[in-house]
Amino acid sequence: MSALTDRLDQIKAEGRSALIGYLPVGYPTVERSIRAMEVMVEAGVDIVEVGMPYSDPVLDGPTIQLAAEAALGNGTRVADAFPAVAAVVAAGAPAVVMSYYNPMLQYGLDRFSEELAAVGGSGVITPDLTPDTGHDWTVAAQANGLDQIYLVAPSSTAERLHLTAHATSGFVYAASIMGVTGERASVGDVAERLVADTRAAGAPRVCVGLGVTTGVHAAKVAAYADGVIVGSALVRCLIDNDDEEAALAALRVKVAELAAGVRGNA
């Protein structure tokens, strides 16, 4: 068990779904991104995804791409994720890193996993890595007690769901739609079936992301998933407000709306 699984199980015992919030480290600066993550926890996010900016983010839509490009342009590097994780943990929430595989590989899988574990990180979501190609990462992660979090999609076969469910620890990340991250007007019904099928394949915890934008969306997903993952709607708060205090105020409002949704008060 990890801090991540402990928190998810605790929240499930409370009769609700977890709110999982994503922000990329380094946008608009490393220091301001860390403060924003702390504010998310203060405002009601249960678990934080610390995003690792990458030059070829195949899963990310325009909002997160914009923030990631700016972060890279500001000189953000892999090592900047570790103080962000430490700050989130100190604020009282489990932290996982969301990273494409190449930055981790270039940094060194053993080095990366050791440094992440040292600052209290719980695991890594790897959107472009699958269990059957992730042996080296699995070895490094397990050696340091980190969860390996893989994705399933509406197109995943029964065989793929079974493989992913049994190779994943922490939670399985269920993509609610085929496509990239982003804010949307609604969350499709296919996600509920995907969660049910993933659980039937053996996954004890399934969290849903992609397209969750409002408290109403969050409430809908919370009715059947162990966690509701929100990224672009939170990043938008920072993009739309150059002033730091205004950005943090907008972030608090959006998190409060989403938190009310997962707690049944939307």
Of residues 157 and 184, which shows the higher confidence score? 157
Rounded CA gap, 138 and 164, in Å?
A: 13
Q: What is the pTM of this model?
A: 0.94
Active site residues: 49, 60
Q: Locate 173 and state its tokens.
A: 């990340």
Please choose, from the candidates 154, 175, 152, 182, the residue with its C-alpha nearest in 3D space to the C-alpha of residue 164. Answer: 152
Residue 206: band (very low, low, confident or very high) from pLDDT cuts 50, 70, 90: very high
* pLDDT score for 84: 98
Let me know the angle formed at the C-alpha of 106 by 110 and 21, rounded to the nearest 5 degrees. 80
* pLDDT score for 181: 44
pLDDT at 244 over 60: yes
Residue 183: band (very low, low, confident or very high) from pLDDT cuts 50, 70, 90: very low
Residues 30-51 have a mean pLDDT of: 98
pLDDT digits (tens, 9 = 90+) for 165-176: 999 999 999 997
Q: Locate 124 and state its tokens.
A: 């890594």
Neighbours of 253 (CB within 10 A): 12
Q: Structural domain boundaries of the chain?
A: 3-150+213-262
pLDDT at 178 over 60: no
CA dihedral 189, 190, 193, 197 (to 10 degrees): -160
Residue 26, SS3?
A: coil
Rounded CA gap, 54 and 28, in Å?
A: 15
Instruction: Calculate the average pLDDT of the chain.
Output: 93
* pLDDT score for 141: 98
Q: Give yes or no for a contact between 85 and 130, defined as CB atoms under 8 angstroms apart.
A: no
Percent of the chain with pLDDT over 70: 93
CA dihedral 230, 231, 233, 235 (to 10 degrees): 150
pLDDT digits (tens, 9 = 90+) for 73-88: 999 999 999 999 999 9
pLDDT at 60 over 50: yes
Q: Locate 221 and state its tokens.
A: 């997903």
Of 1.10.10.10, 1.10.3210.10, 1.20.58.340, 3.20.20.70, the CATH number of 3-150+213-262 is: 3.20.20.70
Which DSSP category does 17 fall into?
P
